[in-house]
């Protein structure tokens, strides 16, 4: 019995320390990513992206979104697994905001099939990293 408990504890600790590999970007997605961040440097992570505009959002891949604010700042938002289908075909990302704080780390996002109007996936917001010109 004690051996099973130790095995479960070891598996739990290993799952907490393992880092998830980022999915491979398409050449087009990688080119978009590099062009958005050209000449910019990363700043410390922020917990919320207030007052974003969906018109300023770029889907880099199913795990990475970019939001442009003006000409100098780009916010890169990393999503957890589950939203890989966003931006492909008839799929869209649905964010439900409560209280007007914007998009925040830990918020649940849903991928909606816009043709059939059904949820086909969900994920949460991970890191939000601002990139600015030095």
How many residues does this entry show for the chain? Answer: 134
Q: Classify the phi-psi angles of 13: left when phi > 0, otherwise alpha if psi is within -120 to 50, otherwise beta.
A: alpha
Mean pLDDT along residues 109-134: 91
Q: Could you give the CA distance from residue 22 to residue 81 in angstroms, rounded to a whole number?
A: 9
Examine residue 101 and state whether it is found in any structural domain, yes or no: yes
**What are the pLDDT digits (tens) for 41-98?**
999 999 998 777 667 888 898 899 999 987 789 999 999 999 888 877 788 888 776 6
Write down the mean pLDDT value for the chain: 78
Cα angle 124, 126, 130; round to 5 = 135
Mean pLDDT along residues 11-26: 47
The DSSP secondary-structure symbol of 46 reads B
Examine residue 43 and state whether it is found in any structural domain, yes or no: yes
pLDDT for the residue 95 = 79
Residue 132, beta-bridge partner list = 41, 73
Cα angle 120, 123, 124; round to 5 = 155
Which residues contact residue 104 at a Cβ distance below 8 angstroms, ignoring those fewer than 6 apart? 47, 48, 49, 125
pLDDT classification of 21: cutoffs 50, 70, 90: very low
Question: pTM of the prediction?
Answer: 0.75
Examine residue 32 and state whether it is found in any structural domain, yes or no: no
pLDDT for the residue 4 = 37
Please state the domain count of the chain: 1
Residue keyed to tokens 């980022």: 22
Examine residue 1 and state whether it is found in any structural domain, yes or no: no
Range of the domain at 103: 39-132
Examine residue 21 and state whether it is found in any structural domain, yes or no: no
Examine residue 84 and state whether it is found in any structural domain, yes or no: yes
pLDDT classification of 23: cutoffs 50, 70, 90: low
Examine residue 9 and state whether it is found in any structural domain, yes or no: no
């Amino acid at each position: 019995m004690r051996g099973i408990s130790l095995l479960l504890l070891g598996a739990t600790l290993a799952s907490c320390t393992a880092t998830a590999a980022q999915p491979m970007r398409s050449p087009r997605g990688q080119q978009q990513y590099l062009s958005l961040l050209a000449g910019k440097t990363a700043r410390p992570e922020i917990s919320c992206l207030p007052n974003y505009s969906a018109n300023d959002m770029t889907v880099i891949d199913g795990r990475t979104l970019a939001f442009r604010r003006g000409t100098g700042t780009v916010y890169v938002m990393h999503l957890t697994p589950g939203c890989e289908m966003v931006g492909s075909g008839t799929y869209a990302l649905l964010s439900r905001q409560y209280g007007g704080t914007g998009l925040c780390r830990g918020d649940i996002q849903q991928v909606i099939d816009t043709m059939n109007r059904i949820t086909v996936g969900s994920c949460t917001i991970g890191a939000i990293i601002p990139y600015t010109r030095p």
